[in-house]
Amino acid sequence: MADGHASTDSQTVGRERGADSVLSRILAPTTEREREYRRIVVLCAPFATLLLIAGLYPLAEVVRISVSTHQYQSVGFSLEAYATLFGDPYYRSVAFNSLWLAAGTTVVSVALAVPIAHALEKYDLPGEDLLVTLVSFPISLPGIVAAFMILVLFGNNGLLTAVIAALTGREPLDVAFAVSVPGLFVAFVYSMVPRATLILRGTYAEVDEAAEEAAQALGATPLQTFRHVTLPQIRPGITGATILTFRTGLAIFGTLIVIQTLVVWTLQISRELGNGYNVQVAGAMATVYFLFTFLFTVLGLRYTNAEVGI
C-alpha cells in the first residue's frame, strides 16, 4: 500500500515539475523553437481570454439554465425543457421555419452573389468603387434598419409599391408585400448578398485566367468556360459563402422585430424571455442553436478543405 502511495506522489510531483518546465520555457525561452512557442502563446492569449469569458462561460451557464429545476436559479437537473422542445409540434414548426427560410435565402443570396462577384472581378466597370460600396453597404446596417428600408420600398405607401401599382393598375394595398413572408425573405436576402459577394470576390482573385483564356481559344463559349473552368475553381468559395450566409440567416434577429410574419428560432427565444419568461426553454433553444450551427460549420469547413485538397 505504501508503495502505491509513493508511486502516486511521484507521478504528481512529476506532473508539477513538467508544468513548471513548460511554463519556464515559455517565460524564459532559450531556443528558437521555445521562442516560437512563446510568440504563439502571446498571440493566442487575447483570443483565448475572450473565448473563455465571452464564449465558454456564458455557454456553460446557458446549458445549466436549460437543465435547471428552478426558474430563477441554476439548481437541480431536469430535461423537461428539452422534452418540451422536441416533443411539442409548435417548436418543431419553428425549427422548420428557421431552416427553410435560412436555406432558401442562402441559395438565392449565393446565386446572386456569383454573377455580382464575377462582374466586379472580371470586367472594368465604370464607377467600380461606388458599385463595391453600394454592394457592401447593407453589411453596415442593423437588421432593424434593413427591415425599415423594405417597408419604405414595398410597404403600403412604399416607393416601389406605388410604381408597380401605377404600372399594373392595381391598388397599392394589393401590391404591397413588406409585412409578409416574401417581404421577410427579401429583407434577409438584402442583408446576406453582400457577405456572400465579398467572400466570392476573394475567391475570384485566385482564379487562373490563363486556363479560362485557353478554353476560350479552343472554342468554348463563355458559359462553357464558366461551367468547366471557372466554377470548379470558385467552388470552395461558394461553399464558404454558403456556410456564412446560412449561419447569418439563422442568426438574424433585428429584421424579425419589425417584420414578424414568421416565427423562427431567434424570435421564439426572445418570446420565451418575454411575457411568459420560460427561461429553461429559452436556454434549451440557445443550446440546441449553438450545437447545430457549430456542427454545421465544422462539417462545412471539412467539406471545403476536402475540395481545396482535390
CATH of the domain at 255: 1.10.3720.10
241 lies in some domain? yes
74 lies in some domain? no
User: Can you give 140-203 as a three-state secondary structure string?
Assistant: HCCHHHHHHHHHHHHCCCCHHHHHHHHHHCCCHHHHCCCCCHHHHHHHHHHHHHHHHHHHHHHH
| 244 and 168 share one domain | yes
- The pLDDT of residue 120 is 86
- The pLDDT of residue 102 is 94
246 lies in some domain? yes
Amino acid at the residue 38:
R
| 185 and 138 share one domain | yes
| 32 and 105 share one domain | no
Q: From 42, 66, 90, give the residue that closes a domain.
A: 66
Amino acid at the residue 213:
E
Q: Are 194 and 136 in contact (CB under 8 A)?
A: yes
Note if the pTM is more than 0.85.
no
Rounded CA-CA distance 147/142 in Å is 9
125 lies in some domain? yes
**Three cell numbers written together for 141:** 446596417
| 61 and 163 share one domain | no
| 297 and 174 share one domain | yes
Exposed/middle/buried for residue 299 (C-beta within 10 Å: 0-12, 13-18, 19+)? exposed
Question: For the stretch 155-189, what's the b/e string if a residue is b when 16 or more beta carbons lie within 10 angstroms of its beta carbon?
Answer: beebeebeebbeeeeeeeeebbbbbeeebbbbbbb
Q: From 32, 66, 100, give the residue that closes a domain.
A: 66
| 85 and 37 share one domain | no
- The pLDDT of residue 231 is 87
Q: Structural domain tally of the chain?
A: 2
| 114 and 224 share one domain | yes
73 lies in some domain? no
Q: Are 29 and 37 in contact (CB under 8 A)?
A: yes
| 97 and 60 share one domain | no
Distances (CA, A) of 16 to 12, 13, 20, 168: 6, 5, 6, 80
71 lies in some domain? no
**Three cell numbers written together for 113:** 452573389
Mean pLDDT, residues 153-178 taken together? 88
Supply φ then ψ for residue 75, to 5 degrees: -130, 155
| 159 and 280 share one domain | yes
Cβ neighbours, 10 Å, residue 208: 11
Q: Residue 14: which pLDDT band, with cuts at 50, 70 and 90?
A: very low
Span 246-298, pLDDT tens digits:
999 999 888 888 888 899 999 998 888 876 678 899 999 999 999 999 998 88
> Residue 65 contacts by C-beta under 8 Å, 6 or more apart in sequence?
74, 279, 280, 282, 283
Q: From 18, 34, 66, give the residue that closes a domain.
A: 66
C-alpha R_g of the chain: 27
Residues spanned by the domain of 25: 1-66
| 60 and 90 share one domain | no
Exposed/middle/buried for residue 18 (C-beta within 10 Å: 0-12, 13-18, 19+)? exposed
147 lies in some domain? yes
**Three cell numbers written together for 33:** 523553437
| 199 and 155 share one domain | yes
234 lies in some domain? yes
Query: What is the Cα 66 distance to its own chain's centre?
Result: 23
| 44 and 181 share one domain | no
Q: Which of 11-15, 30-34, 183-187, 300-304 has the highest mean pLDDT?
A: 183-187
